[in-house]
């Protein structure tokens, strides 16, 4: 197991550059569906915003840190868990929330807001908890992670495409709507293909070590979903909003996490494998949950 901390997923510079562009296009496609009305809507429901951000940026990283201390995984796996937990919600959560008959408007609004806040909160949470846990702090000492470079990359990949996409929609709403419906699925497929190609080149490493993150990744994701659901329940939000926050908290932008891992950690084995597995698993768990809630909602309507 110790060698897992020294394993590296090989991903060349040209592939990394394409990964950057693909993720930026994904974010631009997401932004084409966001308007200033989404943010105004949040101002009218401050409680929803507070609970959503509390679950996403405060409690999930804290829960992840507690889980790491409890189970003591390999340091590189622990760093991967912290990286995933520090990322904002994934844009596929909007589709899943709609499918689950949740509050889609809230989901879109929270995704937009959390993406903006991730410019600061993702580097902050990762650095904070990564340095609080001694085994991961040791890895961080051996890797040159400049917090300002981390912030700069997140701004380039998330912030700028988001602003440009929203501005484009403001100027060309009809065209933006058409582009959004095309760009979202295409860009996500391209991004997924690049990640698959990257791991196909390292298939022997992935197959050799994926079992080390299997249970941890599934448990971590389920706990994240439950966290969002029960935090919403504690704050007495409606069942519709409970479903929304469960999905928002459990569906993380693991693509961003992978990009940061390849950029700053040279594809450190445990981190990359955990983030890649999470990226696959959270789609499975999120869709299963969304279909279940959709089915239950349909039964209630019929009866």
> Is-contact 252 278, C-beta < 8 A?
yes
> What's the Cα-to-Cα distance from 47 to each of 63, 140, 194, 237, rounded to whole Å?
21, 36, 39, 9
Residue 143 CA to residue 147 CA, distance in Å, equals 12
Question: Phi and psi dihedrals of 89, rounded to 5?
Answer: -65, 150
Does the predicted model carry a pTM greater than 0.95? no
**Total number of domains in the chain:** 1
Mean pLDDT, the chain, integer: 81
Note whether residue 132 is domain-resident: yes
Count of all residues that appear for the chain in the document:
303
**For the segment 23-54, what is each residue's pLDDT rounded down to a tens digit?**
777 778 777 877 777 677 777 788 888 999 99
Question: Phi and psi dihedrals of 238, rounded to 5?
Answer: -65, 160
Question: Phi and psi dihedrals of 103, rounded to 5?
Answer: -90, 90
Note whether residue 203 is domain-resident: no
Note whether residue 268 is domain-resident: yes
Note whether residue 1 is domain-resident: no
Q: What is the CATH number of the domain that holds 160?
A: 1.20.1530.20
**For the segment 83-108, what is each residue's pLDDT rounded down to a tens digit?**
999 988 876 787 788 788 888 778 87
- Is pLDDT above 90 for 22? no
CA dihedral 287, 293, 294, 296 (to 10 degrees): 150
Closest CA to 269 of 224, 227, 215, 210: 210
Q: Which domain holds residue 19?
A: 12-197+211-295
Note whether residue 5 is domain-resident: no
Note whether residue 300 is domain-resident: no
**For the segment 217-240, what is each residue's pLDDT rounded down to a tens digit?**
999 999 999 999 999 999 999 999
Closest CA to 229 of 97, 88, 87: 97
């Amino acid at each position: 197991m110790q060698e897992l901390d020294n394993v590296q997923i090989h991903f060349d510079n040209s592939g990394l550059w394409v990964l950057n562009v693909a993720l930026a296009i994904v974010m631009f496609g997401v932004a084409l569906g966001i308007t200033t009305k989404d943010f105004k809507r949040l101002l009218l429901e401050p409680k929803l915003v507070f609970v959503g951000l509390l679950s996403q940026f405060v409690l999930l990283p804290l829960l992840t840190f507690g889980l790491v201390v409890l189970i003591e995984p390999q340091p590189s796996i622990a760093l991967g868990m912290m990286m995933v937990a520090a990322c904002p919600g994934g844009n596929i959560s909007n589709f899943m929330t709609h499918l689950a008959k949740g509050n889609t408007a809230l989901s879109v609004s929270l995704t937009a807001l959390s993406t903006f806040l991730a410019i600061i909160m993702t580097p902050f949470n990762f650095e904070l908890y990564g340095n609080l846990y001694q085994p991961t702090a040791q890895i961080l000492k051996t890797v040159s992670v400049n917090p300002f470079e981390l912030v700069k990359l997140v701004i380039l990949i998330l912030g700028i495409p988001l602003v440009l996409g929203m501005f484009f929609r403001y100027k060309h709403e009809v065209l933006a709507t058409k582009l959004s419906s095309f760009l979202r699925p295409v860009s996500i497929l391209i991004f997924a293909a690049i990640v698959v190609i990257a791991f196909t080149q390292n298939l022997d490493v992935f197959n050799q070590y994926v079992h080390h993150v299997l249970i941890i990744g599934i448990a971590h994701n389920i706990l994240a979903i439950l966290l969002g659901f029960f935090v919403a329940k504690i704050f007495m939000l409606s069942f519709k909003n409970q479903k929304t926050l469960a999905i928002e908290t459990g569906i993380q932008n693991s693509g961003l996490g992978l990009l940061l891992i390849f950029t700053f950690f040279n594809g450190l084995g445990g981190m990359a494998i955990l983030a890649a597995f999470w990226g696959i698993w959270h789609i499975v768990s999120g869709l299963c949950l969304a279909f279940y809630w959709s089915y239950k909602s349909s039964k209630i309507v019929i009866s």
